[in-house]
Amino acid sequence: MAEGSEADQDKSMKKLLLIVNCVLLCIGTSGGPLIMRLYFLRGGHRVWLSSFLETAGFPVMLLPLAVSYFRRRRIAAAAGASAKPSLVSMKPPLLLFSAVIGILTGLDDYLYAYGVARLPVSTSALIIASQLAFTALFAFLLVKQKFTAYSVNAVVLLTAGAGVLALHTSGDRPAGESTKDYVMGFLMTVVAAALYGFVLPLVEWVYKKTQQPITYSLVMEIQFVMCFFASLFCFIGMIINKDFKVIPREAMESEHGEANYYIVLVGNAIVWQAFFLGAIGVIFCGSSLLSGILIAVLLPVTEVLAVIFYKEKFQAEKGVSLFLSIWGFVSYFYGDIKHAREMKKKKKSEIETVLPQYS
């Protein structure tokens, strides 16, 4: 009985964590591109600075990590343990993997920020939707992700949605931008989508392969280390590119005032933390494919917000793309709900066939 209630408690805790991480991912996926683009729209030009801000908010993770540590200490004391739990749970192999994923993320942040600097948010959001096809492919190769007809349909539709845009981009180029810049922005965003589409299943692979049992506290430590190394990578880029010299000048020349300039930078750092923690948190509670699906699902929201707030054009091909994306995610969730119902039915009939032996 006690074992059963403990398992139930674990299940509800995981459900709660899934909801919290989905909310974080929603905030990050829809708000991140908008606030990053805001920096460029208000006269900012530094791509390395922008990519650095995607992960530089990692010190905020110290707060939930401290809460988690004191909770572990309280539980250990209540259980009568004489030794205090260690401050850091991460062991060297996991630290190494997190650092490698962090450096890949830093590179990806640069590619992504390069695209956001040169493309309308609605366009870059739709290209990023193609990330799901890469996530699906790498999830299949790395973690043997199983697919249903519905999830394959979702991946195809969401990717086709991004493809429609790629075929017809004339008239989308921001005023004063050269075709070369636009095309480079487009290509860099496609590479960013492919790279992050690889990073998500890689995180799931690390969760599965590590010798350490993964807890949510450990997920937060991974986030901290990953973001630290990604920021370090971009920080070096900022030094080489002399961003630190330019930032005070950009702030002073900002038409919205110096204080607002810095507020946008801090806002970037915080909103993007929600994105990265949400992404790896959803992998912990669900899978990398679910994380990829949620990111793709939320991109139409970003597009609509960009059209509302930044008055970006909404041409017919964006409408078709949006329709395909919505169809894709409805298909995925319909399949998911159907699968969950079937599993429940199967479990129930299994219990019913086993129980008569004991009655």
Ligand X SMILES: Nc1ncnc2[nH]cnc12
- Interface residue list for ligand X (CB under 6 A): 32, 54, 108-109, 112, 128, 131, 192-193, 196, 275
**Token representation of residue 141:** 């190769």
Q: What values do phi and psi take at 7, rounded to 5?
A: -65, -40
Tell me whether residue 251 or residue 295 sits nearer to ligand X (CB atom). 295
Measured from the CB atom, the residue of 116 and 206 that comes closer to ligand X is: 116
Distance in angstroms (rounded) separating the CA atoms of residues 313 and 169: 12
| Residue among 112 and 205 whose Cβ is closer to ligand X | 112
Rank residues 150 and 276 by Cβ distance to ligand X and give the closer one.
Answer: 276
Residue type, 37: R
Shortest CB 6 distance to ligand X, Å = 37
Minimum separation from the CB atom of position 253 to ligand X (A): 27
Contact in structure between 302 and 141 (CB atoms under 8 Å): no
Sequence-distant (≥ 6) Cβ neighbours of residue 253 within 8 angstroms: 43
Residue closer to ligand X, measured from CB, 224 or 276: 276
> Contact 85/163 with Cβ under 8 angstroms?
no
In the complex, what is the shortest distance from the CB of residue 283 to ligand X, in angstroms, rounded to a whole number? 15
Shortest CB 185 distance to ligand X, Å? 13
Determine whether 320 is exposed, middle or buried from the number of CB atoms within 10 Å of its CB (0-12, 13-18, 19+).
Answer: middle
Shortest reach from residue 32's CB to ligand X, in Å: 6
Phi, psi values for residue 88, rounded to 5°: -115, 125
Nearest distance from C-beta of residue 2 to ligand X, angstroms: 43
Radius of gyration of the chain (CA): 22
3-state DSSP assignment of residue 51: helix
CB closer to ligand X out of 113 and 206: 113
Using CA atoms, how far residue 190 sits from 56, 193, 255, in Å, is 23, 5, 32
- Looking at the Cβ atoms of 114 and 284, the one nearer to ligand X is 114
Distance CA 26, CA 282 (A): 11
The tokens for 188 are 């860099």
Least distance in angstroms from the C-beta of 266 to ligand X: 18
**Residue 210 burial (10 A CB sphere; 0-12, 13-18, 19+):** middle
278, two tokens: 């949400």
Shortest Cβ 290–ligand X spacing (Å):
16
User: Residue 274 or 324: which CB sits closer to ligand X?
Assistant: 274
